[in-house]
């Protein structure tokens, strides 16, 4: 077992996870807002922010899909050791980690059912950078309009059209994070 498999978790589990969750909650409640996610040091190429999301939300109850670029023995071992999450196929994933290109097509992730729209996947998308510019966001959580550097607009418009079903997105770049719930209307 690699030494880095065991290291890189939260130093103060309960308090670090609490702070990380508030960042994710705030990001999801205010689409377009960008937050700092500190505390995790996962093996590359998993970003510190994506690692912190995994430590905060994943556990043995949440099947995780890892994109091929992330499915290295180091990352898989780190996730298994720190979260205990089972790695599985896209169709069963509650969380999926990868780049935007690898996560496409989005159609085979669970989007929930009419009676249980919450039984849908959350995609944790690794991006090269995050900036409050680009696509125009409107909807719940946004005072008038917000802007976020999204990889494209069309896929999110298609996702929003499924409402109340659909996927929810967390975007990570380095130690920074933003989110996009299914309610947000995205215009390119």
Partner 1 sequence: MTDMSQDYNFAYLDEQTKRMIRRALLKAVAIPGYQVPFASREMPMPYGWGTGGVQVTAACLTPEDRLKVIDQGADDTTNAVSIRKFFERTADVAVTEATSEASIIQTRHRIPEQALSEEQILVYQVPIPEPLRFLEPRESETRKMHALEEYGLMHVKLYEDIAKNGHIATAFAYPVKVEGRYVMDPSPIPKFDNPKMDDCPALQLFGAGREQRIYAVPPFTKVVSLDFEDHPFEAGRAAHDCALCGAGDSYLDEVIIDDEGGRMFVCSDTDHCRTRREAGHTGALGVPEAFA
Residues forming the site for partner 1 (CB under 8 A): 13-15, 17-19, 21-22, 24-26, 28-30, 56-59, 61-62, 94, 114-118, 120, 122, 140-143, 163-164, 168, 181-183
Check: CB of residue 126 under 8 Å from CB of residue 66.
no
Angle between helices 13-29 and 48-57 (to 10 degrees): 100
Give alpha helix (H) positions in 95-175.
100-103, 154-161
> Least Å distance between CB 124 and partner 1?
12
> Least Å distance between CB 25 and partner 1?
6
Q: Which residues face 135 on adjacent strands? A: 148
Which of 51, 57, 83, 85 minimizes the C-alpha distance to 70? 51
Q: Which residues face 146 on adjacent strands? A: 137
Tell me whether residue 119 or residue 128 sits nearer to partner 1 (CB atom).
119
Measure the CA–CA gap between 79 and 93, rounded to whole angstroms: 15
> Least Å distance between CB 79 and partner 1?
14
Measure the CA–CA gap between 75 and 64, rounded to whole angstroms: 12
Tell me whether residue 2 or residue 13 sits nearer to partner 1 (CB atom).
13
Tell me whether residue 2 or residue 119 sits nearer to partner 1 (CB atom).
119
Tell me whether residue 101 or residue 118 sits nearer to partner 1 (CB atom).
118
> Least Å distance between CB 176 and partner 1?
18
Tell me whether residue 56 or residue 172 sits nearer to partner 1 (CB atom).
56
Question: Number of C-alpha atoms within 13 angstroms, CB side, residue 180?
Answer: 32
> Least Å distance between CB 111 and partner 1?
12
């Amino acid at each position: 077992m690699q030494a880095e498999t065991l290291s890189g978790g939260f130093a103060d589990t309960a308090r670090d996870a609490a702070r990380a969750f508030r960042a994710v909650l705030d990001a999801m409640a205010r689409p377009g807002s960008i937050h700092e996610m500190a505390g995790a040091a996962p093996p590359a190429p998993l970003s510190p922010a994506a690692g912190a999301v995994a430590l905060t939300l994943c556990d043995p109850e949440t099947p995780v899909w890892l994109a091929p670029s992330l499915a290295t023995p180091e990352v898989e071992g780190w996730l298994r050791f720190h979260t205990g999450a089972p790695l599985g196929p896209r169709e069963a994933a509650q969380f999926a980690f990868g780049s935007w290109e690898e996560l496409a097509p989005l159609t085979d992730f669970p989007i929930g059912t009419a009676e249980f729209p919450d039984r849908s996947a959350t995609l944790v998308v690794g991006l090269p950078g995050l900036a409050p510019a680009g696509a125009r966001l409107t909807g719940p959580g946004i005072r008038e309009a917000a802007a976020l550097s999204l990889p494209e607009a069309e896929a999110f418009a298609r996702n929003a059209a499924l409402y109340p079903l659909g996927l929810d997105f967390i975007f990570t770049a380095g130690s920074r994070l933003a989110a996009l719930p299914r309610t947000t209307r995205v215009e390119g």
